Structure 1
Amino acid sequence: MQKRKLGNSGLEVSALGFGCMSLNFLDGKGLEKKEAITLLRNAVERGITFFDTAEAYGPYTNEEIVGEGLQPLRKDVVIATKFGCKDAKPTTGLDSRPKTIRAVAEASLKRLRTDCKLP
C-alpha cells in the first residue's frame, strides 16, 4: 500500500483511506456491528491506516463502532473525525465556539477509545 504524508508533522497514512459513514449511517440500514468491526479490521490487514468518521454519523454511533473496531489496532491507524453541527445534527445549525470544540473533541476521543488527551 502506498503511503502519503499529511502536513509537515511527518504523519503518514495509507494513500487509500476508509470513509466509515456508511458502516451504520446514510443509505440503507448499514451493517450489523459485528460485520462493521470485521470490515474495519480487514481493511487494516490490507494496509488501510486512515479512517474517517464524524460525530454526526448516527449521531455518535459511528464513532463508537470505529472506536471499538480499531481499538486493538490503534497504534497502527490514524482516525479523523469531524464536528461543528449543533448537537451533532446538521439540521440544527453550526456551533464551533471554543468551549464546544473542547467538549466535542473530548467526547469524540472517548467514543473512539483513544488514550489521547487534550492539553
Structure 2
Amino acid sequence: MVAVMAASVVSVPAKEAPRTADEMVTVALATLPAEAQATERLIRTGGPFPYPKDGSVFGNRERQLPAQRRGYYREYTVTTPGARNRAAKRIVCGGYQVTTPQACYYTDDHYASFRRIVK
C-alpha cells in the first residue's frame, strides 16, 4: 500500500523567482497608470510620500523578485483612486541608493506578481 501511495505522489516544482532583474517581464513606465508614474517620480526625488510605510524595507517573502540581502528592496504605495486604504498597487525598488535605485518593479496584485519597470 505504501508503494502505491508513493508512486502516486506527483512532484510539483516550486515557483522560482527570476535570478536577475533582466529575466523579469517588463513594463514601460509610460504605460503604467498615472498614479504609478507619480510614485516613481517621488521615489527619484526622495518624497514626500503619502503613506507612512512608503520607503520601508520590503522583505521579498513571496520570492517573486530576484534574491537579495535584506534591506535591498523598499516598497512604495501607488495611490488607487477611490480606495479607502493603501489597496494593492505598489512599486518596489532595489538598490542601496534610495533615489537612484538599480531596478524598480510594479505590482497591481499585492505582491503576487511583478513586472520590472523600464523607461
TM-score normalised by the shorter chain: which range applies?
A: under 0.3
Point out the structure with the larger helix share.
1
The TM-score normalised by the length of structure 1 is: 0.23
The TM-score normalised by the length of structure 2 is: 0.23
Q: Choose 1 or 2 for highest CA Rg.
A: 2
Tell me: higher relative CO, structure 1 or 2? Use CA pairs within 8 A at least 6 residues apart. 2
